[in-house]
Amino acid sequence: MLRIERILCPVDFSVFSARAYDYAQSLARHYQAKLFLQHVVEFNLSAYAYYVPGVYIVEHMQEIRNDACLQLQEFAKRPADYGAPPERILNEGVPAKTILDFAEVQKANLIVMGSHGLEGIDRIALGSVAEKVLRKAACSVLVVRSPEHDFINPGSGQDPIRLQKILVCTDFSEYSKAALEHAISIAAEYHAELSVLHVLEDIPASQDLQTVTQPWLARINQAIAAESRGGCPVKPLVRIGKPYLEIIQEAAEAKSDAVIMGVRGRNALDLAVFGSTTHRVIQLGPCPVLAVHV
């Protein structure tokens, strides 16, 4: 049984963080989880800082701390009429490392964070915070890339997130099993429709598609039965082609509200981050992606 008890939402006060906070608040409410809202202040002193008297540097740093504290306090009120208030955390340090260290100390089950840029974590830089956290986190990470999503309705006094269609990807590995467990639980919480997708590669064009896909559809149904359907409608799917392209296309065609994928351990994305299926779906997909770490 999936248990989400502690959720960490790192923010930088951008619109991307605001969207991620909507998700974090909603998930915390559904799972009755403790929510941490974290901001990390990073002091980048100029190479010429030694020209400035130390007292002015100390005063400037304190001003930054005070301003960050006020912004975090205001940010925590979004949306002011929904959900329990989070625990606010203001840290100083290198953002990615500080986030990861805090998540480990607090034994977070889930990190929810925004990713900047229209092209996700690919174009921004190899050193982007979201990319580093995604690669090295010991827990699952929900990456919210798009600044707007048409089913988000903040400030209404109701849950701002209405997940209606969830897509989970499977290759029948232990990692996929964990992703399916998350997907069934979340779909049940939100009363969402769940699609379970397996992608076949290198299938000769001469083969009959129904003959090829039928055994895999049966296998998906077996996997679903083993994990229990959780009372939500489940649709098995098999597509043929390049995995990340087929996942993105299915999510777009079905207007999925979230994609859930298993990640092969803490170092999988570290080894080949820009060639991985998970990264490409996060980078190019039409909706947020939950990367489930085992």
**Number of folded domains that form the chain:** 2
Q: Is the pLDDT of residue 293 over 80?
A: yes
pLDDT number for residue 122: 43
Q: Give the residue-averaged pLDDT of 229-255.
A: 90
Q: Give the residue-averaged pLDDT of 221-239.
A: 82
- Domain limits for position 47: 1-154
- Written as six digits, the tokens of 284 are 């190019």
Burial (Cβ within 10 Å: 0-12, 13-18, ≥19) of residue 272: exposed
Do residue 147 and residue 177 come from a single domain?
A: no
- Written as six digits, the tokens of 86 are 């989070």
Do residue 118 and residue 214 come from a single domain?
A: no
Yes or no: say if 213 and 249 are a contact pair by the CB < 8 Å rule: no
What CATH number does the domain containing 39 carry? 3.40.50.620
Do residue 11 and residue 107 come from a single domain?
A: yes
- Written as six digits, the tokens of 241 are 């082609």
- Written as six digits, the tokens of 112 are 């929810």
Q: Residue 119 — pLDDT band, cuts 50, 70, 90?
A: very low
Least confident of 83-87, 182-186, 198-202: 83-87
Do residue 70 and residue 181 come from a single domain?
A: no
Radius of gyration of the chain (CA): 21
Do residue 23 and residue 144 come from a single domain?
A: yes
Q: Is the pLDDT of residue 275 over 60?
A: no
Residue 221's Cβ-side half-sphere holds a number of Cα atoms within 13 Å equal to 6
**SS3 state at 257:** coil
Domain end residue (candidates: 154, 175, 203): 154
Domain end residue (candidates: 154, 180, 199): 154
Do residue 220 and residue 238 come from a single domain?
A: yes
Q: What are 7-30's pLDDT values in tens digits?
A: 999 999 988 899 999 999 999 999
Q: Residue 273 — pLDDT band, cuts 50, 70, 90?
A: very low
Q: What is the pTM of this model?
A: 0.87
* Dihedral in degrees, nearest 10, Cα atoms 81, 87, 90, 94: -110
- Written as six digits, the tokens of 108 are 């977070």
Do residue 137 and residue 103 come from a single domain?
A: yes
Q: What are 193-213's pLDDT values in tens digits?
A: 999 999 998 887 777 788 889
